[in-house]
Structure 1
Amino acid sequence: MSLLPRTYPVILLLLLILHFALSLASDSPSAYEMLERFGFPKGILPEGVRSYNLVHDGGFEVLLSCDCEFRVDGDGFLLRYGKRITGKVKSGQLKELNGVSVKVLLVWFGINEVVSSGTDLYFHVGPLSASFPMSDFKECPKCRGSRISTDIVLDS
């Protein structure tokens, strides 16, 4: 007797498991949908999210396809998002942020916290903050293009 007929149930089982795993993966909410579940507008993340990971304690990692810059409030502040953004999230609060910065005059400062309160978002840079209406973040901004790193590393 051939082994081939016995392998049919095993192959069928493997195909069913693969199909189930793929259907679960496709039902996972996007990073933008997860932001909305925590009380944030989807537009605080630019277009181009490749993947994200959210763990039980609220820690997260978002991977973008490239570094990204865009303006908030028309000709206002210039925001920069790195390819990798990390932090912790809970309802109405993004804290311990890394990978997001704002240009003030000629200097870039890291945004370490974003708080959602009423109809406004408060972006914190150390002890300072600026507020913007959530309506400014209804749509995901398009990046101005990937930036070229200006960081210089010298080997001694």
Structure 2
Amino acid sequence: MSTKIGFVFMALLLLLPLTATTPIQDLLRSRGLPAGIFPDNVKSYQLDRDGRLEVRLESSCMAEFDGRVYFDRVVRANLSYGGLVGLEGLTQEELFLWLPVKCIIVNDPSPGIILFDIGVAHKQLSISLFEVPPSCMPQEIMAEKLGRKEKFDFQK
């Protein structure tokens, strides 16, 4: 009898939508993405049945992968296996311009490449840059670290 109850319990768990009870890193890995796409200050996330992912950070912040990226307090995307498509809330610096990241794709993890679509270009980065969630700092601290005094404007 206990085997049947255990099976029913496990089946119910599989049907529930994923929430912050599972770390975001585990969710990303289960979908073929590296664990460190989102920064270390993720407060919570929600994934609905249609694959719409909403990640809430403690605060908006800047991090570094191959260059600087800016995360809004809330980042949204459609999550599928190997991709975050229709991203909102993530911006990357390219040649002194801040451009919105539209999608992040890992077509085949074997070559170790992750693709960032920033609209005007596709940037290929080493997947090893995304193994661990990056430290995320308020933009003022990041500017100070880089010896700059400017404030960044990420208004779209």
Which of the pair has more CA radius of gyration?
1
Aligned letter for 1:94? L
Q: Percentage identity across aligned positions?
A: 24
Q: Is the 8 A contact 1:122 1:132 kept in 2?
A: yes
Unaligned runs of 5+ in 1: 1-23
Question: Matches of 2:131 and 2:69 in 1, distance apart?
Answer: 16
Residue of structure 1 in register with 2:98 after alignment:
108
Q: Is the 8 A contact 1:66 1:146 kept in 2?
A: no
Residue of structure 2 in register with 1:57 after alignment:
50
Residue of structure 2 in register with 1:48 after alignment:
41
Question: Matches of 2:38 and 2:74 in 1, distance apart?
Answer: 12
Residue of structure 1 in register with 2:10 after alignment:
none
In 2 relative to 1, CA 26–41 (structure 1 residues): closer, same or farther, beyond 3 Å? closer
Q: Does 1:68 align with 2:61?
A: yes
**Which of 62, 85, 110 is the aligned partner of 2:75?**
85
Question: Matches of 1:58 and 1:48 in 2, distance apart?
Answer: 22
Residue of structure 1 in register with 2:7 after alignment:
none
Aligned letter for 1:55? D
Q: Does 1:123 align with 2:113?
A: no
The alpha carbon displacement at 1:41 in A equals 1.1
The alpha carbon displacement at 1:81 in A equals 0.7
Question: Matches of 2:44 and 2:130 in 1, distance apart?
Answer: 20
User: How does the TM-score come out when normalised to structure 1?
Assistant: 0.72
The alpha carbon displacement at 1:65 in A equals 0.4
Question: Matches of 1:55 and 1:142 in 2, distance apart?
Answer: 27
Moved runs in structure 1, 4+ residues, more than 3 A? Answer: 24-27, 146-152
Number of aligned residue pairs: give it: 126
Question: Matches of 2:154 and 2:117 in 1, distance apart?
Answer: 24
Q: Does 1:134 align with 2:123?
A: no
Q: Is the 8 A contact 2:65 2:134 kept in 1?
A: no
The alpha carbon displacement at 1:93 in A equals 1.1
Question: Matches of 2:84 and 2:31 in 1, distance apart?
Answer: 9
